[in-house]
Amino acid sequence: MVSKDAEFLKRLLATFRVEADEHIRTISAGLLELEKGPAPDRAGQLIEEVFRETHSLKGAARSVDLRDIESVCQALESAFAALKRKKLALSPGLCDLFHQTVDHMAQLVPSATGERVPQEGSRTRDLIRRLG
């Protein structure tokens, strides 16, 4: 018999999975549009949107105790904060790093059965280091 806590966690993770997928899709779409070199006003809007989506995903990951996703989101959020403050400039290499990071975050999302995919922590740490 499945305990009430286990059932609740399963439902919570299912909700998180849907939310995470939406955030990741929005972040990816924003990155793709940023790579096309939009007008400065639009670029600023996209940077703000990706920043907000990353912040929301970070909070959602925290609520279900997915620390790896939370940590990667924090590093990505910090990079976008630097872009917003114009302390960092968008470049093809930085865009590649952002895409690698988002792909990695998608891999960290638990499966439909609620199983957390075992990940090599070194990949997470490497992306966080590179975003810093």
Spatial contact of 53 and 17, defined as CB atoms under 8 Å apart: no
Q: pLDDT tens digits for the chain (132 residues)?
A: 457 887 888 888 889 999 999 999 999 999 999 999 999 999 999 999 999 999 999 999 999 889 999 999 999 999 999 999 999 999 999 999 999 999 999 999 986 555 555 555 788 899 999 998
Q: Give one DSSP letter per residue of 72-107, joined into a string.
A: HHHHHHHHHHHHHTTSS---HHHHHHHHHHHHHHHH
Nearest to 58 by CA among 44, 75, 45: 75
